[in-house]
Structure 1
Amino acid sequence: MKKLLLFLVVFAAVLSCGKSEDKKDAGSGQAANSGDKIKIELVSKGYQHEFWRSVEAGAKKAGEELGVEVNFIGPEKETEIGKQVGMVENAINKKVSALGIAALDPDALAVVAKKAMDAKIPVVTFDSNVKGDITSSFIATDNKVAGAMAGEQLAKLINGKGKVAIVSHNPGTTTAIEREAGFREALAKYPDIKILNTQFSDGDKSKALAITLDIINANPDIAGIYGTNEPSIFGVAKGVEEKGLTGKVALVGIDSSEDLAKFLEKGVISGLVIQDPYNMGYQTVQQLYKLSKGEKVEKRIDTGAILVTKENIGNADIVKKMFPFGRK
């Protein structure tokens, strides 16, 4: 079913965009409308989480400093691949100066990313890459490293033994794949840890909660659970708290929010690997601006990750990254 859906999404993208006459490598491609005011479009995975609002804030700050127009959009849900493809198509039709994409699906978005580049629109990816590494730059966390950091923390918390569950976000996205891979590689050093089959929340807090309750009911001896993004670890923490298992089941996750910080401070969560979404948005616009001017950019920019615990959450640098808008 997933393959059929992907085929239909890609086929629709090809039909709506049409055949491009000009082929051009995006590495140094200058925007088609470079004589006008620079207009940068960022198509994210959505708006529903604090992470994306932080990315947008960083992007808008860079745009303000550079004197360019930045439009930040995304679908309502992180399962709406077709809608995201349509947003990229619209950006191509509007002839934006440069385009940033956080791909919900690496295959489907690779098709429209290529169409944009063929239309002489410079393209970079941020957070989640497209298949083939075809864009001029990829600005993101090293998600495999982040997953490994979470894995090492969880292994330490459970003394290297016991059952561990993974509640991931979207199957097929590069962030989910890499964060799980890094986590599994870190735990492979511990033969007494058994990892259960990965389950997916689709980036939905309620679904993550339901999954967690099912995991606990089916595995009363569960030692630890890993949530791969903000809504996933939130639902996991909510479920463990509801079951009265705070401090008995070790929880680690990736991402940050006000709610996750509170869970960390209460001891429900024992470790969060936080990203720097503000910097991710800022760097994305910086690279797109350079491309729109015909300048070269770095192929890969790692925006960094830090392990946050109850002990270091008050650190000034961590507070700045976790709460770019200030604490509520």
Structure 2
Amino acid sequence: MNFIGKLAAATILAGVATAFAGAASAQEIAVIVKTNSSNFWQNVNKGASAAIKKHDGYTMSFDGPATESAISDEVNLVENAINRGVKGIVLAPSDPEALIPPVKRAYENGIPVVIIDSLLADGGKEYYQSFLSTDNKAAGEAMAKEMIDRVGKTGNIAVMSYVPGVGSEIGRVGGFKDYIAKNSDLKIVSTLYSQSQMATALNQTTDTLAANPDLKGIFGANEPTAVGMGRAIEQAGKKGQIVALGFDGNEDLQAMVRDGTLDAIAVQGSFQMGEKGVDTVIDLIEGKTVEPFVNTGVVIVTKDNIDSPEAQNVLY
């Protein structure tokens, strides 16, 4: 049975009426992300908004919790979308386990789901139809190579991560650490988790720099973490004295690359996640075949290439 057939069967099992519950537009696509307070996710919104204009007869809603750690709020947003009978869902899950039940319920109600950025746990794989993301493991490895190229193969470095257990974090930080371990004698003296809060990352980085005066390098693994890390480096007077690598590409991070606070940032195709996510879920609604995984790419941006077309196409 093809995907549309499976969805039809699931809809019958759940009760056809539930698929049309509430007052949603019959052709609404719900884009639900980890938080609506980040420039990264607002760039996803821009991509999704650009995509919906290409598809006559469809509308789009965009929402997310106030913070990435507000997991129950994101669960509620998905439940609400199902209850009002949306036509399809594009979802960036903030937790790989907690979002499985609402995604399963969407499947049972005949609503196709496209996952972006972070995977659900294995138990949820049968309930969504495509995954669009940076290859986070490869991106983490690329940043580890950048670190080794800049600091050498010995000495102490630190990792400033964001939310433990999130799919993107597992791949990104795991890929970084594995590459470091296999290709150098660098020691990672600490891995701290900011919960994607800039102020938390600033304080954690300040403490890390004070506790490790010989630190040669530091890696901030997502947008708010890297911004907080960069500000701590500036406040500590360490700009240009420590190799600092970040992830994502908002205006704060771009300025830090230009002034030398950060040596490089890995920038994901966030616009592409939103654009291709909406295109893919509409393809599913219309019975077309889609790829199970779409790599939305990453660009390593430095002071040398920040004004190049390749970098400018992904910065936001």
Query: What is the TM-score of this pair, normalised by structure 1?
Result: 0.87
Shift of 1:32: 4.5
Do 2:26 and 2:86's aligned partners in 1 also have CA atoms closer than 8 Å?
Answer: no
Q: What is the letter of the counterpart of residue 248 of structure 1?
A: Q
Out of 53, 56, 69, the residue aligned to residue 42 of structure 2 is: 53
Query: Could you tell me which of 15, 23, 29 is aligned with 2:10?
Result: 23
* 3-state SS, counterpart of residue 164 of structure 1: strand
Q: Work out the CA distance in 2 between the residues paired with 1:315 and 1:296.
A: 35
Equivalent in the alignment of 2:78: 88
**Matching residue's letter, 1:59:** A
Which residue in the other structure is 1:18 paired with? Answer: none
Q: Percent identity?
A: 33
Check whether the contact 1:146–1:254 (CA below 8 A) recurs between aligned residues: no
Report the equivalent of 2:6.
none
Q: Give how far 1:186 is off.
A: 1.6
| Structure 1 equivalent of residue 170 of structure 2 | 177
Which of the numbers 291, 299, 302 marks the counterpart of 1:306? 299
Structure 2 spans left out of the alignment, 5+ residues: 1-8, 13-17
Checking the alignment, whether the CA contact within 8 Å between 2:160 and 2:218 is kept in structure 1 is yes
Does the 8 A contact of 2:160 with 2:219 survive in 1? Answer: yes
Cα distance in 1 for partners of 2:246, 2:155 equals: 18
CA root-mean-square deviation: 1.7
Provide Cα deviations, 1:236-258, integer angstroms capped at 9, x if missing partner: 11111111111111101110111
SS of 1:65's partner is: coil
Matches of 1:225 and 1:257, distance apart in 2 = 19
Q: Is the 8 A contact 2:299 2:314 kept in 1?
A: no
Cα distance between partner residues in 2 of 1:32 and 1:290: 19
Task: Name the CA distance, whole Å, in 1 between partners of 2:32 and 2:26.
Answer: 19
Task: Indicate whether 1:197 and 2:190 are aligned.
Answer: yes
Cα distance between partner residues in 2 of 1:131 and 1:149 = 24
Match of 2:143 in 1: 150
Please give the secondary structure, in 2, of the residue aligned with 1:188. helix
Q: Which runs of 4+ in 1 moved over 4 A?
A: none
Aligned equivalent of 1:215: 208
Q: Does 1:103 align with 2:93?
A: yes
Q: Distance in 2 between matches of 1:231 and 1:253?
A: 10
Amino acid at match of 1:200: Y
State the Cα distance separating 1:24 from its structure 2 match: 6.4
Q: Deviations over 1:293-328 (max 9, x none)?
A: 1222110000001111111111022112103xxxxx
Q: Which residue of 2 aligns with 1:123?
A: 113
Q: Indicate the SS of the match to 2:314.
A: helix
Tell me the SS of whatever aligns to 1:72.
Answer: strand
Q: TM-score, normalised by structure 2?
A: 0.90
**Match in the other structure for 1:74:** 64
Letter in 1 for 2:153: G
- Uncovered stretches (5+) of structure 1, i.e. residues with no partner: 1-21, 26-30, 324-328
